[in-house]
Structure 1
Amino acid sequence: MPHPTCQPSRHLAILIMMWVLSTAGCASLPDTQDILARHSVQAAQFESARGPVSARRSAAIVAELKRTAGDLDILDKQIALEQAINDSPLVLGNQVTLLQDGPATYAAMLAAIADAQDHINLESYIIEDDATGQAFAQALLTKQRQGVQVNLIYDSVGSLTTPRQFFDELASAGVAVLEFNPVNPLASRGGAWLINNRDHRKLLVVDGRTAFLGGINISNVYSSGSVIHRPSKTSTADSAWRDTHIQIDGPVVAEFQKLFLQTWDKQRGKTLMPKNYTPVLAPAGKDIVRAIGGTPDDPYSLVYLTLISAISNAEKQVFLTNAYFVPDPQLMQALVDAAARGVDVRLILPSYSDSALVFHAGRAQYGRLLQGGVKIFERQGALLHAKTAMIDGVWSTVGSSNLDWRSFMDNDEVNAVILGRDFAAQMSAMFALDQAASHPIDAQTWAARPLQFKLKEWLARLWERWL
């Protein structure tokens, strides 16, 4: 697993254990072509703070999106597919704020926590007992003492080296603490011991009105942000981390709240204190958002199918930024096919990683992608940990999902899909900054790389299903 903790100090033994214990029963990657072929174009359906929107207004919304971004098939086809596979609505009236790197994200999250009046629901793969983790712990304890109920989910593997005392202190103050799929089988709460199913989500919902999600865990590694001018490194020990998060205010927050509560119930957490978890939500902006949650319990990965569909429907650009790139054959084919259609397909990937296996397994695919016309850039000067996409200047996604088998088959993940030109323009500008800080990979130079790299890539590919 490339990111049991997203830090190099964690042990390979976790990887080996999870591989050995992986058994049948995991979700499978869907036959995307078959599913896409079964869903013809249908009228878009939106919801507002007041409920479902009329067919006439829904059609007008799509027409306006096309007018501002071009005559894009992606809107009709993608909306139809998302509606068919996902019960989460496409919700109007939201304000989405793009947050780049740890400092800006932590400042916004801590400000929202400080303003909480009713409850705080926090779900994170990693919560470290360091300066950042303590800052969040003290903020949560302060609100709990003020009568704001705090509910916390942390992943057992992601937070494996966090001392038990850290969570016990929160629990003793009244915080409801839930360990996701404990590593210790004796702590399992009934049913199968699902060591391979990890909660990779990073989700904060405050008062049921504001949500934060993306790639940023609670750890000091994000505290310095990314520094474009910093020279490239081969070690992650003191590296800056480059990541992306978003803040969402508006009616769609109810859908992210639902995902948190579903996880709590699935993990058999204790009955939550009665609070106003479903407040009436007023419009907060003009952004159109869909919440997409994925778990191994689903018949297939909703995040995976949504992304491949968006790439397959692209007409102009596919801009992907991702930390752990271990694509399956269908994702590879979707990228190459898009480039063959004349779509400008660009990938920004890490130039070094906290997981050598993932890094080299991803690089093993460069040759075919470059030959197929896909442009690849490796981010310099910071450890890339972001998971974002912008397609055709109108469709964007930010979330926790990597482009690897583990995210699509074994993890609980959460992404937001945002429709609209304004937010896509912000995503495009962010992509341009990352590309400017990246090294382009040339096909001829790549083909002539040293044999030792080719051997590492071949060996890493043997593990790619478990990365």
Structure 2
Amino acid sequence: MQAAYSWKLCITAILSLALGACSSLPTLTPDMARRDAPPVQLDGPQGPLSSARSKAILDRLQARGVETNIFKLHLAVEEAIVGSPLTSDNKVELLQDGPETYQAMINAIDAALDHINMESFIIEDDEVGQRFADALIAKQRAGVQVNLIRDSVGTLRTPSSFFSRLSAAGIQVLEFNPVNPLTAKAGWSVNQRDHRKLLIIDGRIAFLGGVNISSVYSGGSFSPQSIKRPNDALPWRDTHLQLEGPVVGELQKLFIETWEKQQGEPLAPRDYFPVSQHLGNDVVRAVGSSPDDPYSLIYVTLISALRSAQSEIWLTNAYFVPDPQLLAALKQAAARGVDVQLILPSSTDSWLVLHAGRAYYSELLKAGVKLHQRRDALLHVKTAVIDGVWSTVGSTNLDWRSFLHNQEVNAVVLGTDFGGKMRAAFLADLDKSEQITLEKWRRRPLDARVKELLGRLWEYWL
């Protein structure tokens, strides 16, 4: 999917360079948290919890985990820099692969009673896209208000008739940063894209992660009985979340903020923020990032977690092109004895991004970072699990574009219960991956090295 629009972004990159419109990533100091900072406070279904209740929940999570600084260092840093609160009483389900994710999403859409807010980078006019269109139209006709944000570049290949059909049924459709400047209501910023994949049902259930609306996910990547894709194309391997509880309200705020910034028509009055209930024991923070922000909140959150890690850093990511600070955080963690492992693609839909990232493999391998390439699937996952207690799933790739030019959304989940599920998912992918050794990497052919050089020339814009 990255390849479908990267050449268009190259043109906008040249324009932006000519105009001097470059932004940069923030430099994090080792100790950003104030030493006199107040205790971390959680939000529950009825609002902020007491300091004592918040401390009891965090102490319980820490007691069940490995020895880690994440609860002492990372939480304090996050509390100082991230706008959304840590929320308790959530229920989080891990969804892997398209068929499982789509079924859960369609089930939630079919059960909607009040409204549906959906935001997606890619929505294709194929079997999966039509399935979602039919479900959304059916709910709109039943009196459920459907509001849809679709990225202009991500849906460039989708016929306008697809969205006209939705609009004709009464669905509010908003095009994010239109490629055509004549239709842009909020200024023309074509290089800034909405890469989020977010679905919110009745303000009570939310889905987020890496899965777009496309038939590339029609085949699974774990079970040999999965549906085969046409022409024996590789199945896409991805990860998504289903969330219920107070965190859904924070994700709803992100959707509405984007709608208003893009000057969409006023949203129909609905119960967008219903009273939440105790649904589970997961502590979750919704983290959204936008190019309009002073810096990427997701980037700062991730760097903080990497620096706080004590035993494990396990990352799985589809598009890996690290900036100097991310590269240093991984190398420094390995140097202090942390088990740093990355699962990365062996096949991709963007060879330029793939080889830009591979230009850093030698440096990482020399530093003791373990690298693996996922076989038999096109990897599109964006996840991390650190020390078995800090996990994140979302739309954010580990590259410059995600941190600087895209709107992204991730969920950070704390605790060993969900961390155990994330570790199991990582190990399942690891079982289907091939480790890259430094000796093997040094023997790669000359043409691969040339591609790496070309990729690095464009890494800021990829």
Q: Same fold (TM over 0.5)?
A: yes
3-state SS of the aligned residue for 1:136?
Answer: helix
Query: Which one-letter code corresponds to 1:436 in the other structure?
Result: D
3-state SS of the aligned residue for 1:37?
Answer: coil
Q: Equivalent residues in 2 for 1:316-465 (5 A)?
A: 316-465=311-460
Kindly tell me: are residues 190 and 259 of structure 1, through their superposed partners in 2, closer, same or farther at Cα, counting changes over 3 Å? closer
Question: What do the CA deviations read for 1:232-256 (whole angstroms, capped 9, x no partner)?
Answer: xxx9982100000000011110000
Q: Equivalent residues in 2 for 1:198-217 (5 A)?
A: 198-217=193-212
Q: Equivalent residues in 2 for 1:77-156 (5 A)?
A: 77-156=73-152
Contact 1:26 1:410 in 2 (8 A): no
Q: Which residue of 2 aligns with 1:291?
A: 286
Query: Which one-letter code corresponds to 1:416 in the other structure?
Result: A
Q: Cα offset for 1:82? A: 1.0
Deviates more, 1:235-244 or 1:100-109: 235-244
Q: Cα offset for 1:71? A: 3.2
3-state SS of the aligned residue for 2:119?
Answer: strand
- Tell me the distance in 2 between the aligned counterparts of 1:190 and 1:67: 48
- Tell me the distance in 2 between the aligned counterparts of 1:464 and 1:12: 12
Pick aligned residue for 1:47 from 43, 46, 53:
43
Q: Equivalent residues in 2 for 1:211-360 (5 A)?
A: 211-227=206-222, 238-360=233-355
- Tell me the distance in 2 between the aligned counterparts of 1:227 and 1:71: 32
Query: Which one-letter code corresponds to 1:88 in the other structure?
Result: S
Kindly tell me: are residues 251 and 163 of structure 1, through their superposed partners in 2, closer, same or farther at Cα, counting changes over 3 Å? same
Query: Which one-letter code corresponds to 1:352 in the other structure?
Result: S
- Tell me the distance in 2 between the aligned counterparts of 1:236 and 1:69: 46
- Tell me the distance in 1 between the aligned counterparts of 2:394 and 2:310: 23
Q: Cα offset for 1:13? A: 3.7
- Tell me the distance in 2 between the aligned counterparts of 1:220 and 1:405: 27
Query: Which one-letter code corresponds to 2:137 in the other structure?
Result: L
Q: Which residue of 1 aligns with 2:173?
A: 177
Deviates more, 1:380-389 or 1:275-284: 275-284
Kindly tell me: are residues 55 and 12 of structure 1, through their superposed partners in 2, closer, same or farther at Cα, counting changes over 3 Å? closer
Kindly tell me: are residues 179 and 223 of structure 1, through their superposed partners in 2, closer, same or farther at Cα, counting changes over 3 Å? same
Query: Which one-letter code corresponds to 1:14 in the other structure?
Result: K
Q: Which residue of 1 aligns with 2:12?
A: 18
Question: What do the CA deviations read for 1:394-413 (whole angstroms, capped 9, x no partner)?
Answer: 10000000000000000000
Q: Cα offset for 1:459? A: 1.5
TM-score, normalized by length of structure 1?
A: 0.95
- Tell me the distance in 2 between the aligned counterparts of 1:149 and 1:237: 39
Kindly tell me: are residues 46 and 401 of structure 1, through their superposed partners in 2, closer, same or farther at Cα, counting changes over 3 Å? same
Contact 2:123 2:129 in 1 (8 A): yes
- Tell me the distance in 2 between the aligned counterparts of 1:303 and 1:414: 8
Contact 2:67 2:310 in 1 (8 A): no
- Tell me the distance in 1 between the aligned counterparts of 2:157 and 2:86: 39
In structure 2, stretches of 5+ residues that fail to align are: none
Q: Cα offset for 1:446? A: 0.7
- Tell me the distance in 2 between the aligned counterparts of 1:368 and 1:228: 35
Contact 2:84 2:286 in 1 (8 A): yes
- Tell me the distance in 1 between the aligned counterparts of 2:62 and 2:161: 54
Contact 2:186 2:261 in 1 (8 A): no
Deviates more, 1:64-73 or 1:109-118: 64-73
Contact 2:323 2:400 in 1 (8 A): yes
- Tell me the distance in 2 between the aligned counterparts of 1:12 and 1:379: 23
Q: Which residue of 1 aligns with 2:190?
A: 195
Q: How many residue pairs are counted as aligned between the two chains?
A: 455
Contact 2:362 2:438 in 1 (8 A): yes
Q: Cα offset for 1:25? A: 4.7
Query: Which one-letter code corresponds to 1:364 in the other structure?
Result: A
Contact 1:351 1:380 in 2 (8 A): yes
Kindly tell me: are residues 373 and 244 of structure 1, through their superposed partners in 2, closer, same or farther at Cα, counting changes over 3 Å? same
- Tell me the distance in 2 between the aligned counterparts of 1:13 and 1:389: 29
Percent of pairs with identical residues:
56
Runs of 4+ in 1 over 3 A off after TM superposition: 23-27, 36-42, 227-230
Question: What do the CA deviations read for 1:192-236 (whole angstroms, capped 9, x no partner)?
Answer: x10000000000000000000000000000111214779xxxx99
